Amino acid sequence: MPLAKLDVVALDCRDPFALAGFYAALVGGTPVHGEEDWVVLEGHGGTTLAFQLAPGHVPPKWPSDDGSQQLHLDFRVDDLEAVEREVLALGATLLDAGTPDRTWRVYADPAGHPFCLCGS
């Protein structure tokens, strides 16, 4: 029997509402202000994503031998090429395209957090 259930994945950032908007465009849902420094993405049908104000946020490095990426999010997509175009237009940065036959790619969101798009 588990001791706990994953409730929220929270990401530190300098602009919680803007980063919530990026993820709303990626997975759906609506950014909703909670407390003054906290925005929650509601209505997307998955684990709750929250965005917390961290004025001194420094994005993790990927890849890096001297610094950890801390965590990353994986998103399953039906059309990797099409979704890549969309996330780049939303402000993501491609970090690692890999080889042409690889079924996943690594990006950074607008605040610098790494995430992967994984083809079906």
Q: Quick one: 39 and 16 in the same domain? A: yes
**Matching residue, tokens 């530190």:** 12
103: domain CATH number is: 3.10.180.10
With CA atoms as reference, report the closest residue to 69 among 109, 114, 108, 104: 114
Q: Quick one: 48 exposed, middle or buried, by C-beta within 10 A (0-12, 13-18, 19+)?
A: middle
**Residue range of the domain that includes 31:** 1-57
pLDDT recorded at residue 68 = 66
pLDDT recorded at residue 19 = 96
Q: Quick one: 75 and 98 in the same domain? A: yes
pLDDT recorded at residue 4 = 58
Give the pLDDT means over successive 10-residue stretches in the chain (120 positions): 76 94 96 89 89 90 72 87 94 94 92 89
Number of domains in the chain: 2
Q: Please, which residues have CB within 8 angstroms of residue 103's CB and are 6 or more apart in sequence?
A: 80, 118, 119
